[in-house]
Amino acid sequence: MPGLRRRLPPLTALVTFESAARLRSFTRAAAELGVTQAAVSRQVHLLETALGFPVFRRLHRRVELTENGRILANAASSALTLMADAIDEITDASAPDELVISASVGFSHFWLLPRISGFSREHPQFKLRIVAQDQLVDLGRGDADLTIRYGNGLWPDGRSILLFRDEVYPICSAEYLQAHGPIDTLDQLVRHPLIMHQSHDPVWTGWEAWLSAFGAAMPRRGAQMVCSSFTDSIYAALAGQGISLGWARLIPDLIAQRRLVRLTDHVARTSDGYHVVVPYRARPKASAELFLHWLSDRAAEAGSDPATSG
């Protein structure tokens, strides 16, 4: 009996065909495989040449499987899935389970990383990879096992579990307040340099929206310093550059340590909140399930009132 290598067409062409057949598109297959559409077309042509019959009908702006193509697509999908499952099983048995967690830079820096050593101590068998970025990762593409996001909880790529909502109030360093205080009213506050975080997220509360909530206006001179991230705005406040907006859930340690102090009695409570989002694509793996329980417990421990007086 001839060996498999002689009986099978080129495997690269077969894998490319499986993707194009499953997605019903050379363009989408190219995006999935990380190649050009022309490369997909060449591999499909190579496959058809090796087989001696067409596997696709080329129609106007779309393709469809021939009858032989449909039979081959079903077989290729089953065979490649079987191989992938076997590799997953072998990998799971021989390598540590890696849990990929995505979060914004601010949440990761100020809330998650100071606490996550507790999870590692409880579950040392898991390898953790933290992806800290303000752009949303695509859970549908498998870019992360879990992600923590701020918003209303409605995202198309996963189901969300509310961790907590937040409160926003002005903060500055203890040294700044000692040198320039007292700062107890909004009239006093707006005379000081304001530090602004320039966010493109419409649900994020900035100075203009925060002041407007209390009937006050942004000073005509605007913010004294504009930062590209929440993390930078907090470090600017720590450095004594002026007054920033503090999100109570993210800075409790800095408030408790008196490195930052809260100003005025004004506090804006957010209707949106921090959610952990689980992909729709599959049941969470064991490490993700354990992390969900751990994260929910830590969120519950934070209490129902994040505000801390200065």
Give the per-residue pLDDT at 109. Answer: 94
Give the per-residue pLDDT at 62. Answer: 83
Tens of pLDDT, residues 221-230:
877 898 888 9
Banded model confidence at residue 92, pLDDT cuts 50, 70, 90: low
Check whether domain 97-163+272-301 has CATH 3.40.190.10, yes or no:
yes
**pLDDT for residue 304 is more than 70:** no
For the chain, the structural domain boundaries read 4-94, 97-163+272-301, 167-270
Do 97-163+272-301 and 167-270 share a fold? yes
Which residues, listed in sequence order, are joined to residue 74 by a DSSP beta bridge?
none
Question: pTM for the whole thing?
Answer: 0.66
- Among candidate residues 273, 303, 298, the one with its CA nearest the CA of residue 166: 273
Residue type, 278: V
Q: How far apart are CA 84 and CA 19, in angstroms?
A: 14
Q: Are the beta carbons of 26 and 44 closer than 8 angstroms?
A: yes
Banded model confidence at residue 60, pLDDT cuts 50, 70, 90: confident
CATH architecture of 167-270: 3-Layer(aba) Sandwich (3.40)
The domain made up of 4-94 has a fold known as Arc Repressor Mutant, subunit A (1.10.10)
